[in-house]
């Protein structure tokens, strides 16, 4: 191995989670910031938690509500065909 090209290994690198939990591990970086850890991860806690990055969940909910609103105003094929048949029936009389 070549000398002086490898990063220095930190025996006690500090890991800081967004929930406030802190623990130490070995790493080449002295301090690591993470969003989820074993204390707050839904798999380990059994509680559902939405990790919303840049408002993606809100954007999805807005799009779903808009699509629902549009689809509720539309008529189905059967309704349109019945109306067309009624119109043709009235035109022949």
Tell me, what's the pLDDT at 43?
76
- Domain range list for the chain: 1-51, 53-93
- What residues contact 45, with CB distance under 8 A and at least 6 apart? 39
Give the predicted TM-score (pTM) of the model. 0.46
Residues 15-65: tens digit of each pLDDT: 999 889 999 999 999 999 998 888 888 777 777 766 666 778 888 899 999
pLDDT score of 93: 67
User: How confident is the model at residue 56, as a pLDDT?
Assistant: 80
Confidence at residue 24, expressed as pLDDT on a 0 to 100 scale = 95
Whether the per-residue pLDDT at 76 is higher than 70: the answer is: yes
User: Quick one: fold of 1-51?
Assistant: Rhinovirus 14, subunit 4 (4.10.80)
pLDDT given for residue 49 in this prediction: 64
More confident residue, 71 or 86: 86
Rounded (10°) CA dihedral 49, 52, 53, 59: 150
The whole-number pLDDT of residue 45 equals 76
């Amino acid at each position: 191995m070549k000398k002086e090209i490898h990063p220095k290994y930190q025996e006690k690198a500090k890991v800081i989670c967004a929930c406030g939990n802190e623990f130490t591990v070995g790493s080449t970086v002295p301090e690591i910031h993470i969003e989820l850890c074993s204390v707050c991860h839904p798999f380990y806690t059994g509680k559902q938690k939405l990790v919303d990055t840049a408002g993606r969940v809100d954007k999805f909910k807005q799009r779903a509500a808009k699509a629902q609103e549009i689809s509720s105003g539309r008529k189905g094929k059967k309704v349109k065909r019945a109306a067309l048949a009624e119109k043709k029936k009235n035109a022949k009389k």
